[in-house]
Amino acid sequence: MLPLAAALGCFAIWELAQRAGLLPVTVPAPTMILRGAAASSRALLFHLGPTIAAAALGYGLAACTTVVLAGLATMLPRVAPGVLGVCIVLHSIPLIALTPLLVLWLGPELMTRAIIAGFACFFPILIGALQGFKAIDPSASELFHVISATPLQRFRLLAFPSALPFLFSGFKIAAPAALLGTIVAEWAGASRGLGLFMLHALFAFQIEQVWASILISSLLAVMAYGLVALLERVVIYWDARAAVAELEDA
């Protein structure tokens, strides 16, 4: 309840500041934004679906690809520096510069926007996966060595379960980034999407619609983070520290 109360308090201060004339005309009051969103509700719903679809597809592609790469780097340590180096180079390329090139090469299709969303969110997942796969309990690692477990068995039965908290940390950071990457891709070229709606409203100087699209994008990003956090509670249902303490007591 505390974050919700803080958000409502910020909106109330925003409303009062606009009514008192303390804000420029380009920053409308929240009630004006709500009226603008209600007036454009059909257009917003029309553009919302492709944005969510592209972000979800790009997020899934990034998650699967980076987990596989991190797994290979864990099972084959000699590959790890090359994988990390290439990913750092890709992450260092400004997305705002890469997006128009990808749209020109691949076309303004849904898959293109999904690829751009994947570029926007893959790096936090990769770092979380690499750190998680290395966070293995030494005693468990020694046990797997004693029973002559294969690298695939070590990864599937030891490294992957141990890495889940680190993986979900990366997943939570990457979820909002996938949505924002999709919006940037829609700025470069799309037939439908929330970013396209935002761009048209900006060029038409429809300030309320611009702010409505901004707030909806922020709300979707928060919801994406919350869904991943909820999934984390379902998947990681054990308390690792309590389990270790129980084993030590035994």
pLDDT above 90 covers a percentage of the chain that reads: 27
Rg (CA), the chain: 22
> What is the reported pLDDT for 249?
54
How far is it, in rounded angstroms, from Cα 223 to Cα 226?
5
Query: What does pTM read for this prediction?
Result: 0.82
Task: Encode pLDDT of 171-206 as tens digits.
Answer: 999 999 999 999 999 988 888 889 899 998 888 888
Per-domain residue ranges of the chain: 46-236
What is the three-class DSSP state of 127?
A: helix
Task: Encode pLDDT of 88-127 as tens digits.
Answer: 888 888 888 888 888 888 888 889 999 999 999 999 999 8
> What is the reported pLDDT for 238?
66
Q: Which of 18-32, 133-147, 235-249 has the least mean pLDDT?
A: 235-249
User: Using the 8-state DSSP alphabet, how is residue 99 labeled?
Assistant: H
Q: Is 82 exposed, middle or buried (0-12, 13-18, 19+ CB in 10 A)?
A: exposed
- CATH number, span 46-236: 1.10.3720.10
Cα angle 5, 7, 9; round to 5: 70
Contact criterion met (CB below 8 Å) for 231 and 164? no
* Amino acid present at 3: P
How far is it, in rounded angstroms, from Cα 240 to Cα 112?
40
